[in-house]
Amino acid sequence: MKSREEYIDSLRRLNLEVYMFGERITDIVDHPMVVPSMNAVAATYELAHGDIMTATSHLTGARINRFTHIHRSTEDLVKKSRMERLMGAYTGTCFQRCAGMDALNTLSVVTYDIDRVYGSRYHERFLKFLQYVQEQDLVCDAAMTDAKGDRRLRPAQQADPDMYTHVVNEGSDGIVVRGAKLHQTGALNSHEIIVVPTRAMREEDRDYAISFAVPSDTKGVIYIYGRQPSDTRKLEEKTYDVGNLFYGGHECLVVFDDVFVPWQRVFMCREHEFAADLVERFASYHRQSYACKAGMGDVLIGAAQLIAEYNGIADVPHVRDKIVEMSHLNETIFCCSLACAYEGAPEPSGTYYVNSLMANIAKLHVTRIPYELARMSHEIAGGAVVTAPAEKDLRNPRIGKYVEKYMKGVADVPAETRMRVLRLIEGLTMGMGAACYLPESMHGAGSPQAQRIMIGRQANLAAKKKAARRLCGID
Ligand code: SF4
Ligand code: FE
């Protein structure tokens, strides 16, 4: 396994084409806008010891980072949920390595299933790629969400054929692909990009039913860095005004401008009837991963309790109640993530798959609970969460004493201590940390309606009606 330093060095060797604020940037690894997110991924290397964060490769028997592991038991699935929470609480942000793990597990199932129908060799290719990822201890960005254009139209019906990533050319040595993937979490911190389809496909969409992996610095792959609220605070001299001092996340718009992919790295090509299955499995695995938000919730609840103490209101009954309510809601996320793991079962490939219904329930809770937690944290923290002066004001020789005097809560806690927590709450719920905690909770791993559709499909109403009919004597 790589050390934190080896990971960072390996990023330095990449030659990515990246744009930010309209300009090409080349100092990616040291760029202040990128460093916090890189630190968060680096933490997955730093903490890679013990049996939560590491596993035994079923391919080689070697000790590997769990983020590159294929789940081979219920216990593996449960440890994955625990790892997600642990990392979320440690970094207080999105640590960006889960979607890659979820794509690897999905492909380990789906390539096997495609081969069983078509006699193709996708699984063998995939396992070779997997072994490479495990041995090199790589970060994979799982690229699912296409541009989508007019949402009413299918991929092949779009006015612009590139609204969904597709094959534009095919030869004896590989395929050429064009399109874009949006909201790519941690793209600049990744060694590999694993592309998967974003929706179910029909026969006429077959050129869009593709999956493959390319090294992140492949020619034709272009990264456009996405903005987040208060992101330029990262460009200021080191200041606690950023909230989370160490970690952050980022997303990119990733363009595939006629990118060549050798056959060895193609894991699905035009088997359109498997696209829905692939999407559903990836979604379920990734919805389990959202135990990360319970970890972030731990940080927010901790910060809410601290600010209650610094404000002198920790013993007020409604505040105590709110902290209990926050804990109850946050544990609900974790309960659901654990439940879908415990109810998981093996697929024909030997990979363990989560209980999809429960994974969707978990994620649907995640689209609501963090917002509710944010609301309660604001109520407890008070308005200073958005009005506190800057760290530089506190350090100013003329006005610093006023900031110190009037930004205090209880007498024995310095104003700076109180303002650090206020900034952390601000960052988590309204600043750049909020991108990871709130809208990502809403839309990451699919927006709430996507979960409702899957819950509707899997709720087994026939069995429920039967139970009701029996008890009232209809049958
Ligand atoms: Fe992992 Fe959570 Fe970030 Fe998704 S949102 S990549 S599950 S930390
Ligand atoms: Fe995400």
- Which part of the chain has CATH 1.20.140.10? 287-461
Out of 140, 269, 292, 340, the active site residue is 292
Residue 94 is a catalytic residue: yes
Residues of the chain with CATH 2.40.110.10: 4-273
Question: Is the minimum distance from the CB of 41 to ligand 1 under 6 angstroms?
Answer: no
Predicted pLDDT at 475: 79
What is the pLDDT, as a whole number, of residue 273?
98
Q: Which listed residue (185, 351, 367, 429) is catalytic?
A: 185
pLDDT given for residue 376 in this prediction: 98
Nearest CA to ligand 1 atom 3: 94
| pLDDT at residue 101 in the model | 98
How far apart are alpha carbons 458 and 179 in whole angstroms?
A: 32
State the catalytic residue, choosing from 71, 166, 286, 365: 286
**Alpha-carbon gap, residue 84 to 76, rounded angstroms:** 12
Q: What average pLDDT does the chain have?
A: 98
Asked if residue 289 has its Cβ within 6 Å of ligand 1, the reply is: yes
Residue nearest atom 5 of ligand 1, based on CA coordinates: 94
| CATH placement of domain 4-273 | 2.40.110.10
Q: Which of 83, 185, 252 best tests ligand 1's pocket when mutated (most atoms within 8 Å of CB)?
A: 185
Q: What is the pLDDT of residue 2?
A: 98
In the CATH scheme, what is the code of domain 287-461? 1.20.140.10
Q: Which two tokens stand for residue 353?
A: 């798959």
Ligand 2 center to 411 CA (angstroms): 41
Residue ranges of the chain with per-residue pLDDT less than 50: none
Site to probe by mutation for ligand 1, drawn from 82, 96, 139, 441 as the one with most ligand atoms within 8 Å of Cβ, is 96
- Which distant-in-sequence residues (6+ apart) come within 8 Å of 105 by Cβ? 70, 71, 281, 285, 351, 353
